[in-house]
Amino acid sequence: MLRKVVLPLLPRVEQFELGVACEVFGLDRSDDGLPTYDFSLIAGSHEPVQTRFGYTIDVPYDLDRLDDADLILVPAGGTDVAARPGPASVCGTGPETADLEPLFVKLRAAAERGARVASMCSGAFVLGAAGLLDGRRCTTHWMHTAELAARFPRALVDPDVLYVDDDPVLTSAGTASGIDLCLHIVRSAQGSHVANTIARRMVVPPHRDGGQAQYVAMPLPECTSDALAPLIDWMTAHLDQELTVPALAARAHMSPRTFARHFTAETGTTPARWLRDQRVLVAQRLLENTDLPVDVVADRAGFGTAAVLRRHFLRLRHTTPQAYRRTFRAAESVPVA
C-alpha cells in the first residue's frame, strides 16, 4: 500500500531532492491512469524551514501527519540540525542543535509499524540520529559516507551504491540517485508499469539497480568516441548474438587489445561486463512485461540458457529470474486507483 506520503523538512533543505520527491509523488497523473498520493510537506522541527539558498518554505509543523503515513521521505539537508553540538557539518552553516526528538520518535514509530522511512542523500544523517540505521545497510552521497560511518558506527554504510532498501528503511546516494530511489519505491509497491510511466513523464531511465556504483552515470554510458559509438549502438541491437572481443575489435578495425583498452576508457567497464549488464537489463524488462518462459528470455537476452541467465541475474540482482518475475507480477496486481 502506498497512498499517504509525507516529507518532514528541516532547515537547510536541498531543493533538488525536494523537487524530485514532489515530482514523483506530488503530481496528479490520474490522466495517465496512475495512482494519486495524499502528499504533504511539513516542518520537521520548530525552526523555520529555510533552504540552503536562503529562501524560506512556509509549511506547518504537524508531526501528527506522520502517524498514518505509508512513506516518510526525508530530503537532503538538515544534516547539521541532526548533528551533535560542534562545527557545522556537510550541509553548511546552521543551528548546531535542535529539539528533533519528537520527529525521531515519530520516525521510529513509523518504522516499527511497517511504514517505509526513506532518506535522500544527506537525509541519511537524520535517520541515523533517530537510531534507524543501527544494524542496517545504508548509503549516502559518496562524499559523506565516511562521516556517516564515523558518526553512526553501528550503521552498515555502503559507499558505492545508488540506494539501499533495507526494508522498511531506505537510503539513497546523492542528487540524481534520489530519482532512482523514488522510482524503486513506486515500482516495489505498485509495479513496473506505474514506475515506468512516471519515469517516461519525467524523461529519465525507468530503472537503475540500487547496487549500481554511484560513479556510473547510466546503465548505458554515453560514448563520445567516433569509432566506438556506432559499434555500441550495433551491440545494443544485437545483444542476442554471440559477441566476442575479437569479433567486436575487427568490426571496430582495432586489435583486440586496443579495442578492450579504448572500450574501457570510454564506458568505464570491460566489454564483457558491459554485455552482461545490458543483457541482464533486457532480461529484466522481458521478465516484467512478458509471459515468455525463462529459457526464451535467456535466449533473447543473449545468455543462451536459463542456467547462465540465473547465474548472472543472481550476481547482479541478488535474486533469481523466477523470483524477480513473481515479485513484480505481484506488485502489478496492486490496485492503482
Percentage of the chain exceeding pLDDT 90: 64
What is the value of pTM for the model shown?
0.64
Place of cell 519505491: 185
What's the pLDDT score for residue 318?
Answer: 74
Rounded Cα distance, 250 and 231, in Å? 11
Rounded Cα distance, 126 and 60, in Å? 19
Name residue 243's beta-bridge partners.
none
Residue 155 DSSP code: B
User: Which domains does the chain possess?
Assistant: 4-202 (3.40.50.880), 220-337 (1.10.10.60)
Higher per-residue pLDDT: 32 or 71: 71
Q: How much is the average pLDDT of 254-275?
A: 90
Cβ proximity of 206 and 196 under 8 Å = yes
83-123, pLDDT tens digit by residue? 543 333 444 333 343 589 999 999 999 999 999 999 999 99
Nearest to 205 by CA among 176, 164, 166: 176
**Whether pLDDT at 331 is above 70:** no
**Whether pLDDT at 210 is above 90:** no
Which band of pLDDT confidence, cut at 50, 70 and 90, is reported for residue 268? Answer: confident
215-233, pLDDT tens digit by residue? 433 344 445 455 688 898 8
Q: Quick one: three-class SS letters along 33-58?
A: CCCCCEEEEEECCCCCEEECCCCEEC
Rounded Cα distance, 142 and 138, in Å? 12
What cell numbers appear for 280 in the block? 541482464
pLDDT, averaged across the chain: 86
What's the pLDDT score for residue 71?
Answer: 98
